[in-house]
Amino acid sequence: MTAQTVSIFAVLLSVLLAVGWYLSYTAVRLDRLHTRLDATAAALDVQVVRRAECAIELAYAGGLDPAGSALVLDVARASLEQEGPWTRQRREAESAMTAILRRVLADGDECAAMQDCALRVRLARRFHNEAVDRTRAVRRRPVVRALRLAGHTDLPEPVDFDDDWPGVTGARAA
């Protein structure tokens, strides 16, 4: 072998190692993003269940009028019945719960537990949607699509429902 052949072989080997490292790094990053996505989805599920449970406690506490209590219990039950993926029906149930809670709880009523639950739902949804955005950004890369580094995993979708709550801006209320 000549010196020129050895140098070409060394450069080619270096390029192959760099490409291999990049593909390995990208695959591991994508796997971590999917793991984070699963964790944020689970956290969002936990927070909407806590909010429904808090609404049930509020309805049974006796501070609401009977019609308001019945409405809150109905939407909380509907929310708890929704499980699994974030279908349109599930998003509508969560939006309905937010709307009913806003309507039933007068502006003057200070319900710290409900406000805390609303904040946690909003934060969990925001964290989940940020994880979705990051995962989608990596999965849009041509190398990831061409080499199918994501496998057969479905492209994640953001979860959007009405979680607007008076006095909750995304930071812990004082």
Give the model confidence (pLDDT) of 148-164 as tens digits.
Answer: 988 888 899 999 999 88
Angle 122-87-70 from CA coordinates, rounded to 5°: 65
CA distance 49 to 172: 20
Rounded to two decimals, what is the model's pTM?
Answer: 0.84
Query: What are the sequence ranges of the domains in the chain?
Result: 47-174
pLDDT band at 47 (very low <50, low <70, confident <90, very high): very high
Instruction: Estimate to the nearest angstrom the gap between the alpha carbon of 94 and the chain centroid.
Output: 14
Q: What percent of the chain has pLDDT over 70?
A: 92
